Amino acid sequence: MNAARLAAARPARGWLRAVREAVGLTQNGVAARIGVRRQSYAQLEEAEERGSISIASMHRAAEAMGCELVYFVIPRDSVAGSYAELARANDPAAAHLRATDHSMALKAGGAPDDAR
């Protein structure tokens, strides 16, 4: 999880500005690709910096820069140490699989994987 958290750390001025500058585009250039005025695009960068941009707007801007928007939520360590741990703890299907594994192990005369 720590690697994902580090990779997802938002740059101080936001992803849109950081990526735009990294790929060598101006605000005018991105605005033209989206079909808005430079001022409207500048407002998107400002909204992201404030934390109030919509996912749809991020997607449009990313597409205009030839990028892909990847959106995900990372559980805090106090919630789970990994996605797999989170699923095992909260996914009804995972509980069903544990119960099935337990039953199968009992039928086979062995201990379930959790008990080994």
Taking the domains of the chain in order of start, what are their residue ranges? 2-64, 83-115
Give the count of beta carbons closer than 10 Å to the beta carbon of residue 58: 19
Would you identify the CATH topology of the domain 2-64? 434 Repressor (Amino-terminal Domain) (1.10.260)
For residues 48 and 30, the answer to whether their CB atoms sit within 8 Å is: no
11-35 as b/e: b if 16+ CB within 10 A: eeebbbbebbeeeebebebbbebbe
Per-residue pLDDT of the chain (116 residues; tens, 9 = 90+): 577 777 778 899 999 999 999 999 999 999 999 999 999 999 999 999 999 999 999 999 999 999 999 988 777 776 777 667 766 777 776 666 565 666 667 777 755 555 54
